[in-house]
DNA sequence: GACTATTCCTTGCTCGAACAACTAATTTCT
DNA sequence: AGAAATTAGTTGTTCGAGCAAGGAATAGTC
């Protein structure tokens, strides 16, 4: 059954991160599917729900996305009536984004999906294990973050 | 400074996994860029280099991809002369994929990039820390894997 | 032998991600 | 005040990812 075949022997950590991320994202996508949202959109909406209206550039920074991705994602959310965009009067470059009232309808479902995702990901682990994993993830993040352009 | 703003408070583990994965993938993409490959393609090639010619469906399974993604990725690799595809005679449904001789030219660069990725990701950590992280990733994976469709 | 799965692959669609190039508005510097 | 640099968004292109639908070859069944 050797699961050690193929490219897995090279860079075991990177490969493990890759696989965990893929499984996690896949699961998130499936849970989110019931809300009608696509993976990534829910982060944008939750940020808007929690932090209120804000500029695109701040929104992109808040969820670690970039400007082009955010612009297109917001265009789709706006098309679907979940988001409203208006040009700022004080600075005609910026576009202010806010969640619509219609978007609030799916907020409970989105938050339930996130809770379910969290539960399925680490719910079966002991608090000690969870704490260890949280710390390790912080460690990895602090290692990788300075390399981000 | 509160970095605890926004959607980060909901599902902290999921969010952390998300961020680590994003940073890691971004770094991998940048390192791989010098080889001329796109993120994902290097896994395919390394599997072919290590395990030799094989069917598309096995290749997809080996790197946890799916058939459509693999088909299109291989079409691009074939277009770029890194991969050769031939229909099997014993079973006319299957396409056998093999790495071309030309692809071997970038193998050293790809493997160097993976080593560099691994080094940047966990190189600065103690063996104990690395072991702990490896174990935690296995834990997460064994938690998530049964949920995969 | 024919009818029905099943397997392998492809194509169409929508989406996120990253890079480059571009417009427009604002700030900074001289 | 005018030129240069910076900032905010958009658009184009390429790619990976996932879902759905379909075609072609094979295996299984009656």
Structure tokens, B100: 């071309």
Q: Do B14 and A43 touch (CB under 8 A)?
A: no
Q: Which fold, B13-147? A: Arc Repressor Mutant, subunit A (1.10.10)
| Core vs surface per residue A90-117: b (16+ CB within 10 A) or e | eeeebbbbebbeebeebeebbbebbebb
B43-63 pLDDT, tens digit per residue, is: 999 999 999 999 999 999 999
Provide the shortest C-alpha distance from residue B3 to chain A (in Å). Answer: 9
Give the tokens for residue B107: 């193998």
Contact assignment for A47 to B120 by CB distance below 8 Å: no
Contact B70, B59 (CB under 8 A): yes
A5: pLDDT strictly greater than 60 = no
* CA gap A18, B21 in Å, rounded: 7
Closest CA to A41 of A2, A11, A83: A83
pLDDT level of residue A47 (50, 70, 90 thresholds): very high
Tell me which chain A residues have a C-beta less than 8 angstroms from the C-beta of B136. 129, 132-133, 136
The pLDDT tens digits of the residues spanning B17-42 come to 988 998 899 899 999 888 989 988 99
pLDDT score recorded for residue B75: 96
Give pLDDT, residue B145. 83
- Any idea which architecture A38-143 has in CATH? Orthogonal Bundle (1.10)
**Residue B92: how many CB atoms within 10 A of its CB?**
8
- Residues with Cβ within 8 Å of A1's Cβ and at least 6 positions away in sequence, in order, are none
The pLDDT assigned to B64 comes to 87
Q: What are the residue ranges spanned by the domains of chain B?
A: 13-147
Q: How many CB atoms neighbour CB A44 within 10 A?
A: 24
Task: Please give the residue that has the higher pLDDT: either B79 or B19.
Answer: B79
> Separation of CA B94 and C1' C21 in angstroms?
42
Q: Which residue has the tokens 């006319």?
A: B92
Instruction: For A57-114, write each residue's pLDDT tens digit.
Output: 999 999 989 999 999 999 999 999 999 999 999 999 999 999 999 999 999 999 999 9
Nucleotide nearest to B26 (CA to C1'): C18
Tokens at residue B43, please? 């896994």
Residue A3 confidence (pLDDT): 44
Rounded Cα–Cα distance for residues B40 and B38 (Å)? 6
Which residue from A68, A62, A47 is spatially nearest to A114, judged by alpha carbons? A47
């Amino acid at each position: 059954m050797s699961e050690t075949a193929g490219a897995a022997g090279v860079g075991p950590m990177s490969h493990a991160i890759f696989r965990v991320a893929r499984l996690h994202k896949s699961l998130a996508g499936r849970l989110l599917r019931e809300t009608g949202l696509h993976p990534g959109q829910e982060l944008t909406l939750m940020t808007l729900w929690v932090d209120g209206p804000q500029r695109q550039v701040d929104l992109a920074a808040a969820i670690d996305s970039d400007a082009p991705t955010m612009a297109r994602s917001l265009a789709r959310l706006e098309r679907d009536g979940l988001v409203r965009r208006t040009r700022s009067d004080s600075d005609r470059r910026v576009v202010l984004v806010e969640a619509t009232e219609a978007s609030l309808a799916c907020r409970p479902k989105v938050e339930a999906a996130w809770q379910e995702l969290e539960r399925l990901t680490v719910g079966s682990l002991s608090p000690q294990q969870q704490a260890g994993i949280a710390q390790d993830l912080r460690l990895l993040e602090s290692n990788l973050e300075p390399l981000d352009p």
